[in-house]
Each structure stands twice: as structure tokens, then as C-alpha cells.
Amino acid sequence: MKILSVNAGSSSFKFQAYEMPEAKVLISGNFERIGEEGSFYSFKINGEKIKKEADLKSHEDAFNILMEELIENKVVEDLNEIKGVGHRVVQGGTKYDKSVIIDESVIKDIEEYSVLAPLHNPAGIMGIRASQEVIPNAINVAVFDTAFHQTISPENYIYPLPYELMEKYKIRKYGYHGTSHKYVSEKMNEILGRTDTKLITCHLGSGASISAIKNGKCINTSMGLTPNSGLMMGTRCGDIDATIVTYMINSLGMTAEEVDKMMNKQSGLLGVSGKSNDARDIEAGVVEGDERCILAHNMFVRKVINHIAMYYMELGGCDAIVFTAGIGERSVPIREDILEHLSVLGVKYSKEKNQIQSEIGCVTTEDSSIPVYVIPTDEEFMIAKDTYDLAI
């Protein structure tokens, strides 16, 4: 059965087609700068990487081009061969603790939850609508980032605000990147050969979060009501003193919208460095001796180790730590600095082992108190798996 996994961002559209249940990847790629000048797409098929320019005014344009490429590259002879399309949906609230087949009521819920994920949920709906239009016979499935975190206890998901805010308005921690945390934790348990484990999974990318996972269930995670909490990220500030918001509104004359834009799109690595939101650019700046890049690097590392230490205590120990996502999988210098700081917990790493990038591997020595692994995440596979299970 052919299944298509879709991950629609505000101006991007990642995809991967599988033959299920064998999980054979047929094609994978990404449409970028949708609705902007200089839009293009790239894909990989049969080991070959191909990049093309295209005028992408909407997600539907991207979806239509994808369908053309599937036929042209003989992934399918007829679009009806695609039996299911799985969509990453960032925010599913408390209603969805697992993936579901999409109908109009589900779309309505996703729209209502858009206030909690304004950059992501509307893009997800665009991807769903495009799929329904172009492949009307396929089953569409929503795979929620928040679902894996529904096992978090009230002590961890309720904010110390008036309780009525949680009861009436559902203001609480939801957590994000759940599909990624679930995938790498399951892979880690396979490596350890057991499921009664205490794991700390670090999804470090432009968006970043850390989760504490006990016996396969999430007990805490760094992101909260929205994806702009917890760690410092590419353009997001993460945790700050909440009164900074009212200070900027009352004393600096900023509007709530301006403050929100600043905290989500102008902060983090970009805001501190003044140079870039890309960790690769920050690393280059560190090598060049750029003081603000060094500061941004050190701040990011400090936020990560603080959360690892907090979750180590909450779990009552740790059987393994996992790095994943763009920075976690590929940034050797950032991993090294984090590992250096974890020596207080008895973590010992190998500089040689830590050179790995985007492949599964252990970066610690045999006498390390905690094994630390790099495990590339595969959200697209998890989306395809849930879609296949619901489509058969």
C-alpha cells in the first residue's frame, strides 16, 4: 500500500512516500519558500537528488507539482494508488491522544487549536485541503505532535495560575515534537533491549524541546502552551520572565502582536547573535571569535544542560540520553559542549565517536555512567505508520 507523509509548514512542505508495511521509501523531498519569491523544490529518488525552481503560490500548487512528479518518476501510475495521506498537525489539544482519520469535525478542531500554534496548524489545514482536492479517494490522517505528551501528570501540565484558566480556557502545558520524541525513545528502547527505561530525549533543531520519558510514556517536556517555551531556539526565546511582556507593552509602547512577533521570530539564536538563527552560522561565528555568537552558543548549551539535569532528577536517574533533529544529529561542537557539562553526572564521551552526523551511534565511552546516543529522527515514518494502521 502506498502512503504519503506530509509535513506542511507556513512556507514549506516536506513529503515522503512509502510502500507499506515494509516502510520502503519511494521518494522524499521538500517544497520551500511557498508564497514567496525564489520558491523551489527538491527531492530524492533512487539515490539521485534533484532540485527544480517553481512558482509556488500556495500549498495546493506544491501538492499538484508533487503529484506530477510522482507520476513522471513512476512512483505511481495512477494517483488512486495512494491509499492514505498522513499529515503532521502540531496542536491537537487534550482531545486527541492518538492519530485519527480526518473529517470536517477534525478540521474544525484543528482550526480552533490554531490559536495555540498559529505558525503551524493553519499550514497543516492547507496541506489537508490540498490533499483532499488532488487525491479525493485517499484517506487523510492527522498525526498530532501533542498526542505523545498526553501522559504528563497534572503536577507538570498545570501552570501556577488561577485554576479556572485551565478549567475554562485550557491554558496548560501541551508539549510539542511528540512524534519525534516517541520515535527516538522507541528506537532507544530497541537498542537497550527493554522498555522499563528512563530516557531523556533532546530534539534540538531550529525548534527545540527536551522530554523525560519513563517506561515508554512522557512524564514531562520543555515546551508548554505553545512551541515558544522551554529552550532557547532559532528565533524563539523560550522561557523568560513573563512580566517582560507587560513591561514591553506598558513601558516601550509595543503592541501585544509586536511582542509576540519579537519572541517568536526575532529572538533565540538570532536575537542574541544578531547574525543568524542557523546553528551552523553561529558555529562559524564562534570559530571566528564573534563574541555574540559565542554568547548565543553558550546560552543554548546552558539551557539544554539545565533541562537535562532537571529531568535527571525528576526521573530519579537515567538509562540513556538521546540527541536528535538538525542540531542534535549534526552539530558536533554543540554536542561536545553539552557532554562536557554533563561530566558531573559521570558522563564520559569520546571525541572520535562524537564526530558522527545523521546516523545512529553511541558517543560515550564504555565506562560512562549514562550512555548518550545520536538517533536521527524520522517523523515521516511515524506519520506513515499511523496512517497505514488506520487505512487498512
- Residues 15 and 29: beta-carbon distance below 8 Å: yes
* DSSP-derived pairing of the beta strands 12-19 and 217-221: unpaired
CA dihedral sign, ordered 12, 108, 130, 180: positive
Catalytic residue among 61, 109, 145, 386: 145
Q: Is 145 a catalytic residue?
A: yes
Chain position carrying cell 485519527? 100
Would you state the cell numbers that stand for residue 184, as one nine-digit string? 527516538
Determine phi and psi for 198, rounding to 5 degrees: -120, 110
Q: How many CB atoms lie within 10 A of CB 123?
A: 25
154: preceding bond cis by omega (within 30 degrees): no
User: Which are the catalytic amino acids?
Assistant: 145
